Amino acid sequence: MARMTPQSKRKAGLAAAVVVLAVFAFVLMRWALSKPHTHLQYMVAGTLAISILLAAAFAQVLRRGPQGRTTFRIVRRSERSS
């Protein structure tokens, strides 16, 4: 088994925390909405949980660049000579 580096441990911990937060938000929304639950209420609770996951993924993508800056790379195809 390979050892985890501190950076990979931090990323795994962050991912686990975000998943736990999304599950907690889903359970909280199910509890807060009146019972019996309808399909629309499950959709609302699931949408909240997914939005938390997407926001966390977006924040992680923004932090990937050096010194917290996002780096965008434009790839252009070279023109072929005829």
pLDDT of residue 26: 81
Burial 21-48 (b: 16+ CB within 10 A, else e): ebeebbeebeeeeeeeeeeebeeebeee
Work out how many domains the chain is built from and give that number: 1
pTM to 2 decimals?
0.54
Rounded-to-integer distance, Cα 40 and Cα 38, Å: 5
pLDDT of residue 13: 86
Look-up of token digits 């199910």: 30
16 domain-assigned: yes
pLDDT in tens, 24-69: 888 887 787 767 778 888 888 888 888 888 888 787 777 765 555 5
- Residue 16: give the domain boundaries: 6-68
Cβ–Cβ < 8 Å for 25, 52: yes
45 domain-assigned: yes
76 domain-assigned: no
What are the φ/ψ torsions at residue 30 (nearest 5 degrees)? -65, -40
